[in-house]
Chain A
């Protein structure tokens, strides 16, 4: 796993360097890996500050989006009539591109972190809610029959059967959320902000500090990858009973 990551990173950097050599692109179009690394070290404090802002936005968005998503899924499941009213809102929240709502969120929540957290929350709300609701709904009928014969209550069925049975599905939603949450935060920063990696990139771009822009981009990509694999690991540990099947095995 670690060896593979190192090989991938080294390989990508090598390709990057080769492209720079072959095309002979000037540093203000494509800076070489070494120049970007230099920029990263030279601006460590600056990048670190802006990265912290973005990371907080992403994590807060994830937590909030999951919390609201879990609540919504539970609500739809408990009160089936709610579903007919709720589903159009849910779909609309996804059909409207976050880019389109971003200016409105800036207007209402200001240029600070709140509007970016709202963006990240909004972008992950749908996958989390839909995945969890599907998981809660599609419980194996055999388990439910067994529970009924045993005299289970609605509450214990939820606790011992429906919720754990929904975890693999919820995990899939969470993986998607981890992958798209950074989009929400960065788009928010582009639309209007005074801090964050998205802001830093726009700012550096405008002043032709392309090496700094690339450095910020790499930090963002690195964090996104770490976040995804961290959450993936967490899900695998939680849903330990799920065995993976491969095409070769079938």
Chain B
């Protein structure tokens, strides 16, 4: 397992999104970056994934073992990004197809993971035959089959209905436990349910207002009193960011 330390300054035009912003992804833990839309959290994720041109950003995302992060990241986005012309099973194995590997050995693993995300028997179906929740389950299986030490989740469940979102949060937490994961979300409840540690992002340039480590271990259930307390606290911070001292 590896930890990742991120340090970034980023400008879009005249606007400074991050000014020497620092974040540590702790080894084997799920870190959640919580912020309103437009707070720059997705941008940060894209920077770690190496998707932002050096024309806009300076800084680095380095792994604790000093090897490059390249090729050791799995990514899950808000859109399921399934390829509509490929069957579900091929969508799960798209990584190996894209790397030109022989996907044959992966078929069994792909079936196994599809069963794990509760999609038995959907292997031969096409994405357009599935519901939004099922499609995002396929996307989760596709993320898991990559089996990367670092996982980046960009609001992966925000497009789903409340029930499906709840189920998928449980599922993702279980499947990604003990992996270094960064979850970006604007949903305080999702943060409280899934994260080992939560950072609240606000301002421009963006800073971390506070770090919260909710008690108990994820996925936390709604029946847990601590969940509602932490939820209320986070919501308050998002609505009134000025009332909270800046600790970063």
Contact = CB atoms under 8 A, between A and B. Distances in A.
A142 B81 contact: yes
Contacts of A157: 98
A167 B84 CA distance: 12
B127 A241 contact: yes
A156 B79 contact: no
Contacts of B84: 241-242
A150 B99 contact: yes
A100 B70 CA distance: 57
A137 interface: no
Interface in A214-250: 240-243
A79 interface: no
Nearest to B75: A149
Contact of B79 (A142, A147, A152, A243): A142
Contacts of A149: 49-51, 73-75
Nearest to A163: B85
B51 A148 contact: yes
A148 B52 CA distance: 12
Contacts of B73: 149
A13 B212 CA distance: 79
A216 B137 CA distance: 58
A152 B86 CA distance: 17
Nearest to A157: B98
Given A145-B75, A146-B75, A153 B83 contact: no
Interface string B65-83: 0000011011101010101
Dominant SS among interface residues on chain B: loop
A238 to B, nearest CB: 9
Contacts of A240: 126
A201 to B, nearest CB: 43
A156 B83 contact: no
B245 interface: no
Interface string A185-196: 000000000000
B128 interface: yes
B100 A153 contact: yes
A156 B97 contact: yes
A240 B126 CA distance: 10
A160 B94 contact: yes
Contacts of B81: 140, 142-143, 146
A243 B50 CA distance: 34
B94 A164 contact: no
B4 to A, nearest CB: 14
B187 interface: no
A161 interface: yes
B67 to A, nearest CB: 15
Q: Indicate the size class of the contact surface on chain B.
A: 20 to 34
Contact of A243 (B49, B75, B97, B128): B128
Given A145-B51, A241-B127, A243-B128, A156 B77 contact: no
B100 to A, nearest CB: 6
Max count, chain A CB within 10 A of own CB: residue among B75, B85, B94: B85
Given A145-B51, A241-B127, A150 B98 contact: yes
Given A142-B79, A143-B83, A151-B71, A156 B51 contact: no
Interface string B33-61: 00000000000001001110000000000
Interface in B81-97: 81, 83-86, 94-95, 97
Nearest to B85: A164
Contacts of B94: 146, 150, 160
A152 B126 contact: no
A159 to B, nearest CB: 9
Given A151-B71, A161-B83, A164-B83, A146 B77 contact: yes
Contacts of B19: none
A155 B98 CA distance: 9
Contact of A152 (B51, B75, B99, B128): B99
A157 B81 CA distance: 14
A150 B86 CA distance: 17
Contacts of B50: 148-149
Interface in A155-206: 155-157, 160-161, 164, 167
9 contacts: A142-B81, A149-B51, A149-B75, A151-B70, A152-B99, A153-B99, A156-B99, A160-B83, A160-B86
Interface of B: 46, 49-51, 70-71, 73-75, 77, 79, 81, 83-86, 94-95, 97-100, 126-128, 146
